[in-house]
């Protein structure tokens, strides 16, 4: 700093005068003010007018005092004369030496604090990362959770116990220590937990399963201990562990031994929940979509006593969920929430939220101020079937093959007794498919009859057989159809007991290797039985293929009418398919719908339709039947 000051100056600002020059200027009346230091004899003064561009000057006189003649001259010319005494400034003298020392000291202080911070992080590594919520936050309540009445009732019972424990203790009732929320992804398990935090009125301690895992051994167990200590200090309280399957997997499982750190964390959690030390006033909640991988000790009574299923929403629950997501959207009057709910079977709450948002995006792209029913149709097609690939151009021959392929799906879906009604057929490339036939159910179904499954097989095989009837050859367009058909037929034989030769026996899917249940894939039936299973699967598929060929041969005029209409308009609605088939078959339009049974007889259609499925050419998107 001193170096820069000395180098960066712009020259002296005061004139330097000898003592004789000073006395001459004083006698000439050019001096206005004089300050004299007796100790050093230094004179500082100010000119009456600038001399040489400078208004101030310095000079040196005799020490002790100025001569009498000089004093009289200043008195004569009315000069402002003052004696000054400048003391020594030790700080100013030592400052150049202190600055480097202070910089060195500051550097070592910074290094010491940095090291202490790192040590503090190491010392706090066993602290739980749980977040504690009070009664004011989060503000989510059960009113924000649409549907799931039975789930909310059971959860409300736990919340009520924490608020009014005396009501339960009077008759000796004991609330479950642990509540496990089980359900598919996106069904709202974490949302329900947030609602519990908003409704409970007691401290809510939230943590995820991955927060317990660290690179150091024993950290997970230490964090579990700290978590329960935090909850005990605030009891009554609720502990919520999201994705508990990350630390609660079966012990001693997996190839090459288990994960010791995870197992120690699980052991500590088991001991804290129902070990030697009682944990009264603490209710533990957890959520997972993989209950099959959890350790049995974690699910026994006294730990997670109660498992609450959070399934995919029903149609009525989807209506309620959609109304919740409609709140902050500008929805047009032509949108019927019942129709939207009926067209979204198998969708979770998260899927419905994405559907509503996708519809809003379609409305914005079209420049609309409201979301219309057309936007929901486009959004559902986008979610179920994928984005339309408008840049993909098919040759005329390929378009004809795809048209007859999709026409085969659509005609069979219309004429078969147990098939779901056709919603839309298109030969525009969509997603991974070259064309799509979409079916939507009239009502939800939870039990699937054998007739419904066999009709599903026929609908799947319709595209392949239609190509064979029209062109006399086969193509690769039915690849995914065949994969789905084979999987469905194998389930009929192995799991659902729908084969006469196999009878009432079932073999479910084999356990995963990482669970340690099957280090090598084994089966609990003989090679002879495996051969019979393969023969039965082949028999079912060939039988349904023959039935598909018979029905399409009978309805070939309808197939050709639908295919030609697809080539002309590219997309057909379900009502147009039914009108074209009826007209081609010589039936009165608008009359009762006639359907074909498995034995070939025609009957008037009933209204009991099953679950939804989507069939397409090239790469099918199909909602498979459940295995349970």
Is the pLDDT confidence value at 468 over 80? yes
Indicate the pairing of strand 54-60 with strand 42-51.
antiparallel
Report the CATH number at residue 565: 1.20.58.760
Q: Has residue 450 been placed in a domain?
A: yes
Statement to judge: residues 427 and 349 lie in one domain: no
Statement to judge: residues 480 and 331 lie in one domain: no
Q: Alpha carbon 61 to chain centroid distance?
A: 87
Report the CATH number at residue 364: 1.10.8.60
Tell me the mean pLDDT in the region 518-532: 72
pLDDT tens digits for range 330-369? 888 888 888 888 778 778 888 888 888 888 998 898 888 8
* Rounded-to-integer distance, Cα 128 and Cα 126, Å: 6
Statement to judge: residues 320 and 304 lie in one domain: no
Tell me the residue range of the domain where 495 lies: 396-508+516-617
Pick the range with the lowest mean pLDDT from 262-266, 537-541, 587-591, 612-616.
612-616
Lookup: tokens for 361: 């995006």
Is the pLDDT confidence value at 618 over 50? no
* Rounded-to-integer distance, Cα 56 and Cα 49, Å: 9
Q: Which positions ≥6 away from 377 have C-beta within 8 Å?
A: none
Is the pLDDT confidence value at 97 over 90? no
Residue 30 and residue 15 in contact, taking contact as beta carbons nearer than 8 Å: no
Statement to judge: residues 260 and 329 lie in one domain: no
* DSSP code, position 327: T
More confident position, 10 or 32: 32
* Rounded-to-integer distance, Cα 228 and Cα 476, Å: 59
pTM given for the model? 0.62
pLDDT at 541 (0 to 100): 93
Report the CATH number at residue 57: 3.30.720.210
Q: Which helix (H) or strand (E) holds 82?
A: strand 80-84
Strand-pair partners of 285: 179, 240
User: Which sequence positions are flagged as catalytic?
Assistant: 406
What is the SS3 assignment for 423? Answer: strand
Statement to judge: residues 445 and 497 lie in one domain: yes
Q: What is the DSSP string of 166-190?
A: HHHHTTT----SEEEEE--TTSSHH
Query: What angle, 0 to 180 degrees and rounded to 10, lies between the N-to-C axes of helices 189-200 and 149-163?
Result: 30
Is the pLDDT confidence value at 462 over 80? yes
Q: Alpha carbon 182 to chain centroid distance?
A: 18
Last residue of a domain, one of 385, 411, 433: 385
CA distances from 389 to 31, 361, 427, 430, 547 (A): 96, 18, 11, 6, 34
pLDDT at 144 (0 to 100): 73
* Rounded-to-integer distance, Cα 394 and Cα 433, Å: 12
* Rounded-to-integer distance, Cα 410 and Cα 408, Å: 6
Q: Which positions ≥6 away from 20 have C-beta within 8 Å?
A: none
More confident position, 593 or 435: 435
Lookup: tokens for 188: 């709202």
Last residue of a domain, one of 359, 385, 411: 385
Statement to judge: residues 135 and 275 lie in one domain: yes
pLDDT at 610 (0 to 100): 35
Residue 399 and residue 588 in contact, taking contact as beta carbons nearer than 8 Å: no
Pick the range with the lowest mean pLDDT from 139-153, 283-297, 329-343, 554-568.
139-153
Pick the range with the lowest mean pLDDT from 6-20, 96-110, 252-266, 360-374.
252-266
Percentage of the chain exceeding pLDDT 70: 78
Is the pLDDT confidence value at 454 over 60? yes
Statement to judge: residues 140 and 230 lie in one domain: yes
Q: Has residue 107 been placed in a domain?
A: no
pLDDT at 486 (0 to 100): 92
- R_g of the chain computed on alpha carbons: 44
Domain total of the chain: 4
Statement to judge: residues 606 and 460 lie in one domain: yes
* DSSP code, position 598: T
pLDDT at 534 (0 to 100): 92
Q: Has residue 560 been placed in a domain?
A: yes
Lookup: tokens for 274: 């129902």
Region of residue 517 (phi > 0: left; psi between -120 and 50: alpha; otherwise: beta): alpha
Q: Has residue 416 been placed in a domain?
A: yes
* Rounded-to-integer distance, Cα 169 and Cα 178, Å: 18
Report the CATH number at residue 218: 3.40.50.300
pLDDT tens digits for range 393-446? 777 888 888 899 999 999 998 888 888 888 888 888 776 778 888 777 767 777
Q: Has residue 106 been placed in a domain?
A: no
* Rounded-to-integer distance, Cα 203 and Cα 258, Å: 35
Q: Which positions ≥6 away from 591 have C-beta within 8 Å?
A: 582
Q: Is the peptide bond before 377 cis (omega within 30 degrees of 0)?
A: no
More confident position, 370 or 230: 370
pLDDT tens digits for range 278-287? 556 778 888 8
pLDDT at 5 (0 to 100): 62
pLDDT at 253 (0 to 100): 57
Q: Has residue 585 been placed in a domain?
A: yes
Tell me the mean pLDDT in the region 566-574: 86
Q: Has residue 58 been placed in a domain?
A: yes
Statement to judge: residues 483 and 533 lie in one domain: yes
* Rounded-to-integer distance, Cα 444 and Cα 301, Å: 35
What is the SS3 assignment for 51? Answer: strand
CA distances from 85 to 39, 41, 63, 67, 220 (A): 7, 10, 12, 18, 74
C-alpha dihedral, 251 to 254 to 260 to 266, nearest 10°: -30
Is the pLDDT confidence value at 117 over 70? no
Q: Has residue 7 been placed in a domain?
A: no
CA distances from 226 to 62, 122, 386 (A): 83, 15, 47
- Angle (nearest 5°) at CA 251 between 248 and 252: 155
More confident position, 333 or 213: 333
pLDDT at 547 (0 to 100): 92
More confident position, 475 or 615: 475
Q: What is the DSSP string of 355-385?
A: HHHHHHHHHHHTT-SSB-HHHHHHHHHHHHH
Tell me the mean pLDDT in the region 262-289: 74
Statement to judge: residues 193 and 63 lie in one domain: no
Helix intervals (H) in 504-555: 527-554
* DSSP code, position 331: B
pLDDT tens digits for range 379-401? 887 777 666 666 667 778 888 88
More confident position, 482 or 600: 482
Q: Is the peptide bond before 12 cis (omega within 30 degrees of 0)?
A: no
Last residue of a domain, one of 261, 291, 309: 309
Statement to judge: residues 503 and 541 lie in one domain: yes
Statement to judge: residues 453 and 587 lie in one domain: yes
Average pLDDT, the chain: 77
Percentage of the chain exceeding pLDDT 90: 9
Tell me the mean pLDDT in the region 258-281: 69
Which parts of 221-334 are beta strand (E)?
237-242, 282-288, 306-309
Is the pLDDT confidence value at 319 over 80? yes
Is the pLDDT confidence value at 619 over 50? no
């Amino acid at each position: 700093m001193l170096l820069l000051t000395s180098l960066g100056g712009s020259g002296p600002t005061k004139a330097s005068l000898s003592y004789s020059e000073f006395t001459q200027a004083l006698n000439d009346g050019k001096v206005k003010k004089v300050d004299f230091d007796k100790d050093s004899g230094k004179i500082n003064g100010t000119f009456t007018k600038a001399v040489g561009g400078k208004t101030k000057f310095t000079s040196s006189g005799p020490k002790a005092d100025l001569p009498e003649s000089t004093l009289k001259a200043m008195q004569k010319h009315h000069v402002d004369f003052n004696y000054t005494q400048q003391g020594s400034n030790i700080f100013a003298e030592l400052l150049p030496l202190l600055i480097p020392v202070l910089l060195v000291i500051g550097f070592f202080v910074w290094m010491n604090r940095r090291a202490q911070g790192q040590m503090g992080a190491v010392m706090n590594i066993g602290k739980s990362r749980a977040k504690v919520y009070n009664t004011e936050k989060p503000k989510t309540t059960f009113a924000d959770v649409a549907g799931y009445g039975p789930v909310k009732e059971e959860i409300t019972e736990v919340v009520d116990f924490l608020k009014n424990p005396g009501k339960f203790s009077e008759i000796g009732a004991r609330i479950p220590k642990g509540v496990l929320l089980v359900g598919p992804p996106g069904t709202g398990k974490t949302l329900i937990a947030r609602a519990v935090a908003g409704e409970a009125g007691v401290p809510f301690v939230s943590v995820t399963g991955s927060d317990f895992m660290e690179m150091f051994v024993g950290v997970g167990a230490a964090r579990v201990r700290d978590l329960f200590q935090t909850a005990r200090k605030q009891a009554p309280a609720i502990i919520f562990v999201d994705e508990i399957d990350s630390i609660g997997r079966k012990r001693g499982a997996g190839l090459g031994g288990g994960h010791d750190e995870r197992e120690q964390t699980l052991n500590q959690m088991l001991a804290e929940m129902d070990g030697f030390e009682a944990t009264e006033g603490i209710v533990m909640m957890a959520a997972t979509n993989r209950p099959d991988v959890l350790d049995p000790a974690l699910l026994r009574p006294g730990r997670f006593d109660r498992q609450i299923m959070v399934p995919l929403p029903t149609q009525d629950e989807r209506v309620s969920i959609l109304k919740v997501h409609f709140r902050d959207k500008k929805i047009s009057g032509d949108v019927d929430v019942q129709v939207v709910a009926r067209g979204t079977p198998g969708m979770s709450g998260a899927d419905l939220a994405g559907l509503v948002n996708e519809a809003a995006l379609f409305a914005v792209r079209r420049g609309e101020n409201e979301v219309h029913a057309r936007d929901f149709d486009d959004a559902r097609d986008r979610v179920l079937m994928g984005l339309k690939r408008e840049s993909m151009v098919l040759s005329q021959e390929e378009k004809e093959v795809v048209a007859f392929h999709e026409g085969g799906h659509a005609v069979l879906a219309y004429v078969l007794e147990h098939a779901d009604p056709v919603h839309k057929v298109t030969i525009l490339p969509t997603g991974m498919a070259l064309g799509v036939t979409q079916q939507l159910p009239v009502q939800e179904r939870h039990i699937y009859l054998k007739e419904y499954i066999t009709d599903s097989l026929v609908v799947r095989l319709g595209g392949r057989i239609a190509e064979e009837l029209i062109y006399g050859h086969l193509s690769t367009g039915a690849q995914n159809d065949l994969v789905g058909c084979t999987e469905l037929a194998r389930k009929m034989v192995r799991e659902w007991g729908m084969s006469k030769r196999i009878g009432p026996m079932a073999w479910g899917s084999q356990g995963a290797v990482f669970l340690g249940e099957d280090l090598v894939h084994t089966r609990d039936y003989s090679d002879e039985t495996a051969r019979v299973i393969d023969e039965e699967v082949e028999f079912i598929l060939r039988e349904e293929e023959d039935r598909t060929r018979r029905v399409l041969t009978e309805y070939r005029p309808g197939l050709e009418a639908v295919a030609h209409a697809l080539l002309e308009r590219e997309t057909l609605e379900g009502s147009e398919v039914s009108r074209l088939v009826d007209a081609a078959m010589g039936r009165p339009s608008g009359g009762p719908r006639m359907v074909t049974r498995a034995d070939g007889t025609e009957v008037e259609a009933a209204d009991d339709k099953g679950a939804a499925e989507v069939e397409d050419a090239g790469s099918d998107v199909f909602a498979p039947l459940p295995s349970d």
